[in-house]
Structure 1
Amino acid sequence: MPKENSNLTNCNKIVEQFEKVIKHPIKKQAKCYYTGVDVGTACIVLAVFNEDYQPIAGAYRYADVVKDGMVVDYIGAIRIVRELKEQLESELDTELLLAAVAIPPGTDELDSGALKNVVQGAGFELTNILDEPTAANQILNIENGAVVDIGGGTTGISILKDGKVVKVVDEATGGTHLSLVISGAYGLPYEEAELYKRNPKNHKELLPVLTPVIEKVASIIKRSIEGYEVDEIYLVGGTCCLDGIEKVIQKSVGIPTLKAKNPMFVTPLGIARSCKDTILD
């Protein structure tokens, strides 16, 4: 495993700050509030930054309103985002108006409108829409390499050169497929398999069972970065919370692979950092 570099160190500091403010929001009045809304396959996360783009509050809830990167329960998505918004507004004693959102790469024509309506339907003014791995890089600040966002339904990949995205890829393989394997291997209903996967105590036992699916994800990464100079791969997304996933991918792809302390929060934090003052038309 490669040594942690400065990008990951800084990322982990922000993630740690966010984990603290989820439990203890910073209630000091801010000049402006920027919210990142991450509507994922398995979890919806809201991250709130102040005018200095530092995390001051956050909330999340597991949900099943998205499938394979697409919103399938529109009303449910609006309801959950609105409820989390109201929770944070109560904790901060303020109204949250500005928000950004992210989508899987390459789905802007199909799903950006749905997510735009979800955010606006929950009471936000939308200021930015960007793809998930690019959002994550707002926190990672990678100049050269690949950011791989493995969510519940999809794996999104952004390849960066000199700080600019030169290629984005999205494929429908992710945490849902891991849960299906667990369901079949252990004879569990899908919902129970999902809960079993989330428990870190089970990860060591599960890793050998899930390795074939992880290797499939690795093959997607390897194929996507072929022909590009990628020195390091950075993993984000809830599925990457699985202990040891980075080792399997590194072995399969043959490129140093790192992940943040809590990869589930990197993308929503990047979305919040991408929030602007100007409202989208």
Structure 2
Amino acid sequence: MESLEKANQILAEFEKIANTNTAKSFDPKDGFKVGVDLGTSSIVLVVLDGKDQPLFGAFEFADVVRDGLVVNYQQSVQIVSRLKQQAEEVLGFPLTAASGAIPPGTVGNNKRVVANIIESADMAADQLVDEPTAAALLLGVSEGAVIDVGGGTTGISVFEKGQPILVVDEPTGGTHMTLVIAGYFQETIEEAEQRKRDISKERENFTIVRPVVQRMAEITRQALLRQPTEPLYVVGGAAYFKEFEGEFANYLQQEVYKPVYPQFVTPIGIAMSSHIIFPQEGE
């Protein structure tokens, strides 16, 4: 699939520079775009050039969002501000605006809080897109469904002719995996989270969290009963397990595609949704 191959190339380039405190070469005439992803387990800042190629990336692990809602506003602002400062020092120009994302169906003050955090970090809030729609931008999805498995929720967007026609969001995600691991080993949430991130324990961990993955697949199945579609793409940090998409495909009896570094799909898509800014405008 050509669109998936292109997305994988961008993801691989971003992964090379993420948290290295370095940036790719940049022609100011191309302009740049900025995206901020307030995730359940981490906050990611992405800077792309005007051609949607990665320039800079940084993230911090954080516990500021639960079930899609910001629960620690001040810490969120502090982290975004730190990431912004780091980017500006490396790139050599100010980041004057950034886009953000929200779980599908978020409304009212819960939606506005993402924009408020961006603005409190001294950037104008550009676009606010729902997370699966952001992911679809990078994946080039015009037909099919994007399943965004985050820390707190599983969000599903079904697309037709490039537009979302069905949006579903349910509170089952990576946090629930951590809770299951904590219960299994009778350890703290913090210990279980570290265990979950330990690549050497991935096979054992996946066996333990398989029921949670099947619950995510059932949420997806129910959505597809309302609006059958293909292909299916799964993204999000909680989908990093090697066996994840296979378990989904077996449950759904339908092929499921997962891009490389699925945790970075939505953050890059958020940046892609932004308007192009030119450095001289912020000087």
Q: Is the TM value for this pair above 0.5?
A: yes
The Cα of 1:156 is off from its aligned counterpart by 0.7
Match of 1:224 in 2: 223
After superposition, residues 179-258 of structure 1 pair within 5 angstroms as 179-258=178-257
- d(CA) in 1 for partners of 2:180, 2:174: 10
Match of 2:28, SS? Answer: coil
Partners of 1:38 and 1:125 in 2: CA distance: 15
Is residue 144 of structure 1 aligned with residue 143 of structure 2? yes
Deviation track 1:48-75 (CA, whole Å, cap 9, x = no partner) reads 0112221100100110000100000000
Distance apart, 1:28 and its partner CA: 3.4
Cα shift at 1:127: 1.1
Shift of 1:27: 4.8
Cα distance, 1:76 vs. partner? Answer: 0.5
Aligned to 1:101: 100
Deviation at 1:227, TM superposition (A): 3.3
Unpaired runs of at least 5, structure 2 = 278-283
Aligned to 1:26: 24
Deviation, structure 1 residue 20: 2.0
CA contact (8 A) 1:98 1:277 kept: no
Pair 1:119-2:127 in alignment: no
Match of 1:259 in 2: 258
Indicate the larger mover: 195-204 or 34-43.
Answer: 195-204
Aligned-residue Cα RMSD (Å) equals: 1.3
Partner of 1:6: 2
Letter in 2 for 1:209: I
Cα deviations by residue, 1:8-28 (Å, 9 ceiling, x for unpaired): 211110101111232331253
1:32-54: CA deviations, max 9, x gaps? 22111000110100000112221
Q: Which amino acid aligns with 1:140?
A: L
Write out per-residue CA displacement over residues 183-203 of structure 1, whole angstroms, 9 at most, x where no aligned residue: 010122101111111122211
Bigger mean CA offset, 26-35 vs 169-178: 26-35
Give the share of equivalent positions with the same residue, in percent.
38
Hey, what's the Cα distance between the residues in 1 that align with 2:252 and 2:136? 21
Q: What is the distance in 2 between the residues matched to 1:163 and 1:117?
A: 29
* Contact residue 27 and residue 91 of structure 1 kept, 8 A: no
Whether contact under 8 Å (2:157, 2:166) holds in the other structure is yes
Residues 198-207 or 139-148, more deviating: 198-207
Corresponding residue for residue 63 of structure 1: 62
> What is the CA-CA distance between 1:30 and the residue it aligns to?
2.3
Query: Could you say which residue in structure 2 is the equivalent of 1:168?
Result: 167
Inter-partner Cα distance in structure 1 for 2:200 and 2:23: 28
CA displacement at 1:277 relative to structure 2:
4.8
CA distance in structure 2 between the partners assigned to 1:20 and 1:102 by the alignment: 23
Contact 2:166 2:227 (8 Å CA) reproduced: no
Is contact 2:32-2:276 (8 Å) kept? Answer: no
Asked if 1:17 is matched to 2:16, the reply is no
Taking the aligned partners of 2:265 and 2:177, their CA distance within structure 1 comes to 21
| Count, aligned residues | 274
- The question of whether the paired residues in 1 share the 8 Å contact of 2:15 and 2:261 is answered with no
Equivalent pair of 1:33/1:97 in contact (CA under 8 Å): no
Find the residue that maps to 2:275 and give its secondary structure: coil
Instruction: Using the TM superposition, give the Cα deviation of residue 208 of structure 1 relative to its aligned residue in structure 2, in angstroms.
Output: 1.4
SS in 2 for 1:46: strand
- What displacement does 1:110 show? 4.1
Q: Which runs of 5+ in 1 are unaligned?
A: none
Tell me which residue corresponds to 1:37: 36
Name the amino acid aligned to 2:182. S
Equivalent position of 2:53 in the other structure: 54
